[in-house]
Structure 1
Amino acid sequence: MLRLIATSLCLRCQRATALPLHLRPCATLSSVENQQTVEALYDLSVDIQKVRQLKGWVLHQSPAYTKEVADLLRDMGASGSIIARILAGHPEAVLCHPEQLQAQRELWMSVCPKHKELVGIIEKFPASFFTSSSHHDNQRNNIAYFQSLNLNKRIIAKLMASAPQSFSRPVEQNELMVRTLQQAYQDLGGDEANMKVWLQKLLSQNPFVLLKPPEVLRQNLLFLRDKGFSTAELLRLLSKLRGFVTELNPDSMRRTLAYSQDTMGCSEAELRDIILDCPAVLYHPDIILAERFKGLLSAGISMSQIKETPTVLELTAQIVNYRIQRLRLHGYDVRTGSLEVLNGTKKDFETSSGKLLLRRERPIFNPVAPLKADD
Structure 2
Amino acid sequence: MLRLVTASLYLRNPTTQVIPFFPVRPCTSFIQQENTVAVDALYNLCVDISKVRQQKGWVLRQSPAYVSETAALLRDMGASGSIIARVLELYPEAILCKPEEMDAQRKLWMSVCSKQKDLVGIIEKFPASFFTSSSDHDNQTANILYFQSIHLNNRIISKLMATAPQSFSRPVKQNEEMIQMLQKTFLDLGGREDNMKVWLQKLITQNPYVLSKIPEALHNNLLFLRDNGFTSSELLQLLTKLKGFVTELNPESMKHSLNYSQEILGCTEAELRQIVLECPALLYYPVTILAERFNGLLAAGMSIEKIMETPTVLELTTQIVQYRIQKLQSYGYDARTGSLQVLNGTKKDFEKCYGQLHLRRERPLFNPVAPLTTED
Please give the range of the TM-score, normalised by the shorter of the 2 chains. 0.7 to 0.9
C-alpha distance in structure 2 between counterparts of 1:258 and 1:185, whole Å = 27
C-alpha distance in structure 1 between counterparts of 2:121 and 2:288, whole Å = 37
Counterpart residue number, 1:95 = 96
Give the SS at the match of 1:239: helix
Counterpart residue number, 2:210 = 209
User: 1:247-275, CA deviations, whole angstroms, 9 ceiling, x for partnerless residues?
Assistant: 10001101111111111111111110100
Matches for 1:191-202 after TM superposition, within 5 Å: 191-202=192-203
Residue identity matched to 1:68: E
User: 1:68-111, CA deviations, whole angstroms, 9 ceiling, x for partnerless residues?
Assistant: 00011111121212211211221111111111111101111111
Say if 2:87 is the partner of 1:86: yes
Check the 8 A contact 1:101/1:130 in 2, yes or no: yes
Matches for 1:63-142 after TM superposition, within 5 Å: 63-142=64-143
C-alpha distance in structure 2 between counterparts of 1:280 and 1:117, whole Å = 35
C-alpha distance in structure 1 between counterparts of 2:342 and 2:81, whole Å = 45
Answer with 303-312 or 192-201: which moved more.
192-201
* Alpha-carbon distance, 1:31 to partner: 2.3
C-alpha distance in structure 1 between counterparts of 2:36 and 2:355, whole Å = 59
Q: Which of structures 1 and 2 has the bigger CA Rg? A: 2
Change (3 A) 1:105 1:364: same
* Alpha-carbon distance, 1:365 to partner: 6.2
Check the 8 A contact 1:201/1:241 in 2, yes or no: no
Give the SS at the match of 2:241: coil
Instruction: Give ranges in structure 1 of 5+ residues lacking alignment.
Output: 1-6, 13-29, 371-375
Check the 8 A contact 1:206/1:243 in 2, yes or no: yes
Residue identity matched to 1:106: K
C-alpha distance in structure 1 between counterparts of 2:365 and 2:191, whole Å = 50
C-alpha distance in structure 1 between counterparts of 2:316 and 2:144, whole Å = 36
User: 1:119-164, CA deviations, whole angstroms, 9 ceiling, x for partnerless residues?
Assistant: 1211211110000111111111111111122212221111101110
Check the 8 A contact 2:190/2:232 in 1, yes or no: yes
Residue identity matched to 1:237: L
Answer with 135-144 or 212-221: which moved more.
135-144
* Alpha-carbon distance, 1:352 to partner: 2.1
Check the 8 A contact 1:198/1:241 in 2, yes or no: no
Change (3 A) 1:117 1:239: same
Check the 8 A contact 2:293/2:318 in 1, yes or no: yes
Give the SS at the match of 1:64: coil
Change (3 A) 1:37 1:226: same
C-alpha distance in structure 2 between counterparts of 1:35 and 1:103, whole Å = 28
C-alpha distance in structure 2 between counterparts of 1:43 and 1:225, whole Å = 62
Change (3 A) 1:71 1:268: same
TM score, norm. by length of structure 1: 0.88
* Alpha-carbon distance, 1:191 to partner: 1.4
Say if 2:343 is the partner of 1:342: yes
RMSD: 1.9
User: 1:41-85, CA deviations, whole angstroms, 9 ceiling, x for partnerless residues?
Assistant: 111111222222222222222221100000111111212122112
TM score, norm. by length of structure 2: 0.88
C-alpha distance in structure 2 between counterparts of 1:278 and 1:59, whole Å = 49
Counterpart residue number, 1:238 = 239
C-alpha distance in structure 2 between counterparts of 1:85 and 1:367, whole Å = 54
Answer with 302-311 or 341-350: which moved more.
341-350
Answer with 172-181 or 347-356: which moved more.
347-356
Check the 8 A contact 2:129/2:165 in 1, yes or no: yes
C-alpha distance in structure 2 between counterparts of 1:192 and 1:123, whole Å = 37
User: 1:7-57, CA deviations, whole angstroms, 9 ceiling, x for partnerless residues?
Assistant: 99xx97xxxxxxxxxxxxxxxxx8222221111111111122222222222
Counterpart residue number, 1:24 = none
Counterpart residue number, 2:273 = 272
Matches for 1:211-230 after TM superposition, within 5 Å: 211-230=212-231
Give the SS at the match of 1:340: helix
Change (3 A) 1:300 1:64: same
